[in-house]
Structure 1
Amino acid sequence: MSNAPQIRIPATYLRGGTSKGVFFRLQDLPEPCQVPGAARDKLFMRIIGSPDPYSAHIDGMGGATSSTSKCVILSASSQPDHDVDYLYGQVSIDSAFVDWSGNCGNLSTGAGAFAIHAGLVDQSRIPENGVCAVRIWQANIQKTIIAHVPITNGQVQETGDFELDGVTFPAAEIVLEFLDPSDEGEQGGSMFPTGNLVDELDVPGIGTFKATMITAGIPTVFVNAEDIGYQGTELREDINSDPVQLARFEQIRIAGALRMGLISTPEDAIKRQHTPKIAFVSPPKSYKASSGKEVNAGDFDLLVRALSMGKLHHAMMGTCAVAIGTAAAIPGTLVNLAAGGGERTAVTFGHPSGALRVGAEAQQVAGEWQVTKAIMSRSARILMEGWVRVPADTF
């Protein structure tokens, strides 16, 4: 019996914001994987090391968390006035599944930097020293992101003194602009797919909760922490070690997905693990972050905890931060009320690793709320580059 040899594929392992992923240029993928389908999904699962019943990703590049089980494809843009197309795959840890239903806001930072590293941005647009505005077409959600990437001596500047809670070491700041981030596809054109800023969400067998369901950045279901028995100061171990509570969160998420029109039946949720997100909010309270740092209630506007792929996130997903900033800008949402109410163009929120500021510009037009852009700062750094190897019979 002969065994298939390993093949190698050019790849870059890169941190973007509080996430890590394996980045590829489209043209470097094996030919069957250059188009969407089963071959590409099988390749990405094997690269990450999924599905893994041990939830460890020992035999792959993943880190067995939603923040580290990600693959990204970049290519020269198919859209006018854009530099690159950016496609993101969230690889399930314990099931044979890659979710293409949403974006990763953190890795959007890496997409801007990698586009320059990989030679996908016209050299004439890259200054010798300064900032390059990389125009990204986010192919999963059909939206524009502009990454303002610092350049030194014609190369991406990766080191710097910008500190990001949830990331151990400082790096160079990259400012992200998410243009028109509300999702108008599946939900029929409304940022609030139910038509309400706050709904009574009935969760069979669990109860009824006030909820703000929004489609800015990424579809997200917000509930009040106190309504589900939490303070809003919880860390990962407080939630992720309790399978009963995780199952309850999943039921709330499924109920929200049904109300938002993202799925037709509860059974559909298993194939849509990445979206919507479920998050709970609270007015400010002092707490100790996961690093041990004291976070003062006076330093932020509200508390937010969010779950990704069924587990509490160690910091905050970038796309969920866009949803937070947008909802905070709209008077009357649960996020806005937790922040004290009123009109605002920016909000700072506390998360398990510290605090994050995000800005959003929202306005009401003909009775419908619209958001023109959301802005936040992240950083990115190449960790390793070369080739990943997988058995030739993977796909």
Structure 2
Amino acid sequence: MPQRRFRAVFMRGGTSRAIMFRRQDLPADRAAWDPIFLAAIGSPDPEARQLDGMGGGVSSLSKVCIVGPPTRPDADVDYTFGQVAVKDALVDYGGSCGNMSSAIGPFALDEGMLPHAPKDGPVEVRIHDTNAGRIIRARFEARDGEAMVDGDFVLDGVAGSGAPVRLDFLDPGGARTGALLPSGRVLDRLDVPGVGAVEATMVDAASPCVFVAAAAMGRQGVDTAQALDGEGALLEKLDAIRRHAAVAMGVATDAEAARARPSLPRIAMLWAPVEARLASGRVLSASEVDLHIRIISMGQPHRAVTATGALCLAVACRIPGSLPVRLLGPADPGAPIRIGHASGIAVVDAAVQGDAGAKGGFHCEHATLFRTQRRLFEGSVLVRG
């Protein structure tokens, strides 16, 4: 049987890569999408290599994005994100990908989907994230009708430099659960079977995340992502906490339902500012960061930090009494937050105010980060008949 061809573009967005599809090039029936995406990426693969597809064997390289005309009047395009499991036949549309969000505006411009955008100079694109039901405002530079790629902005986790893309996640609170603080509390005590009592801050900004102190997990120095790969017992303990938090946040009805959706919520360990060695051999001094994070994505330690995880952490750092605030270094409270991650530093910010009418008492106006992006190839992706 001949292979099927689908028009596609392969792009890097932030520290992730994805196959990009125009909505019009896919079947009208969304039920037909998953087999296409699984075959294109190369999943399921029990050896976690995805050699028969475009995936890279880790969650950050196993993604698809679908971009189409807007379905709401305040947006320029719709963006649907699919997280393709590496070992399982699963495409999860429950969460969002902040890293790949940086590629959506440039993709739309290069594909001619923004007829009123300037050919040169600053471009602003309002992206409707259909997974979260929220608007992301992307700002970047164009030249000769295409998004600029070359620039001086350095994104740790990506070699070289590029043109920056500013992403403002507008009113990101409650993207999945309906509340910035889904439990209604800034700090929770989770009683997890087989683990015990664990303090956690649970935030839903752009995508749900749960934060725990690394010290509570028995960690002392800051682990590299590669070292965490070999800590099976620790990863299982973290996933047990994640599943319990999913129920507490209203993301899942029970722990087994949470097991079936490993992307929601994500869980991360946090450290106060200390010296930390990266996989590259570079050593971050305590004075370079405000706190450290190691985030788990689809059961795997992320090689940098998910953009939505960084945004959630920025929001949590603006909420008095949260666990991240307890660990923050002596930074200027008005300055952006410097997050030490597995590949370097991410600088993020958020505007959070008290709101007596909101569950948990806080509201986030926006959260901001910068990324780079690049179009890697364009043409057709082939999938088995």
Please, what TM-score do these two structures have when normalized by structure 1? Answer: 0.94
Residue 295 of structure 1: CA displacement?
1.2
What letter matches 1:15 in structure 2? Answer: R
Query: CA, structure 1 residues 184+88, in 2 after alignment: closer, same or farther (shift >3 Å)?
Result: closer
Q: Distance in 1 between matches of 2:334 and 2:317?
A: 7
Find the aligned partners of 1:288 and 1:206 in 2 and give their Cα distance. Answer: 28
Structure 1 residue 345 displacement after superposition: 5.8
Equivalence for 1:380? 373
CA distance in structure 1 between the aligned counterparts of 2:326 and 2:255, rounded to whole angstroms: 30
Deviation digits for residues 352-383 of structure 1 (CA, Å, limit 9, x no counterpart): 10111101000011252000001111000011
After superposition, the Cα gap between the structure-2 partners of 1:232 and 1:378, relative to the gap in structure 1 and judged at 3 Å, is farther
Secondary structure (helix, strand or coil) at the match of 1:141 reads coil
Which AA in structure 1 matches 2:287?
A: G
Structure 1 partner of 2:14? 17
Write out aligned runs for 1:33-52 (5 A).
34-37=28-31, 39-52=32-45
2:117 to 125, 134, 157: 125
**What is aligned with 1:53?**
46
Structure 1 residue aligned with 2:203: 214
Out of 205, 211, 228, the position equivalent to 1:239 is 228
Shift of residue 307 of structure 1?
0.4
Q: Give 1:1-395 correspondences, 5 Å limit.
A: 4-29=1-26, 31=27, 34-37=28-31, 39-122=32-115, 124-126=116-118, 128-183=119-174, 185=176, 187=177, 189-231=178-220, 233-340=222-329, 343-344=333-334, 346-366=336-356, 368-392=361-385
**Per-residue deviation, residues 30-79 of structure 1 (Å, max 9, x unmatched):** x2xx3322x21111111111010111000000001010000000001111
The one-character-per-residue Cα deviations of 1:318-372 (angstroms, maximum 9, x if unpaired) are: 1111101100111111112211489546311100101111010000112520000
Q: Between 279-288 and 18-27, report the one with greater CA deviation.
A: 279-288
| Corresponding residue SS for 2:205 | coil
Task: Tell me by how many angstroms 1:297 deviates.
Answer: 1.1
Other structure's SS at 2:376 match: strand
Count of matched residue pairs = 381
State the alpha-carbon separation in 2 of the partners of residues 67 and 316 from structure 1: 10
SS of the residue corresponding to residue 48 of structure 2 reads coil
SS of alignment partner, residue 182 of structure 2: coil
Report percent identity of matched pairs. 38
- On the 8 A contact 1:329/1:345 being kept in 2, the answer is no
For residues 186-220 of structure 1, what are the alpha-carbon distances to aligned partners after superposition, in whole Å with 9 as ceiling and x for unaligned? x3x42111111111111101111110011112111
| C-alpha displacement of 1:310 | 0.3
Question: Which one is further off, 132-141 or 228-237?
Answer: 228-237
Tell whether the 8 Å contact from 1:345 to 1:360 is kept in structure 2 after alignment: no
**In 1, distance between residues paired with 2:35 and 2:91?**
9
Residue 249 of structure 1 and its aligned partner are, at CA, apart by: 1.3
Tell me how far apart the structure 1 counterparts of residues 267 and 223 of structure 2 sit (CA, whole Å): 15
Q: CA deviation at 1:155?
A: 1.7
| Preserved contact between residue 348 and residue 355 of structure 1 (Cα < 8 Å) | yes
Once residues 270 and 255 of structure 1 are traced to their aligned partners in structure 2, the CA distance between those partners, rounded to angstroms, is 10
Q: Which amino acid aligns with 1:269?
A: A
Structure 1 counterpart SS, 2:140 = strand
> Quick check: 1:328–1:344 contact (8 Å CA) kept in 2?
no
Quickly say closer, same or farther: Cα 1:94–1:184, change in 2 above 3 A: closer
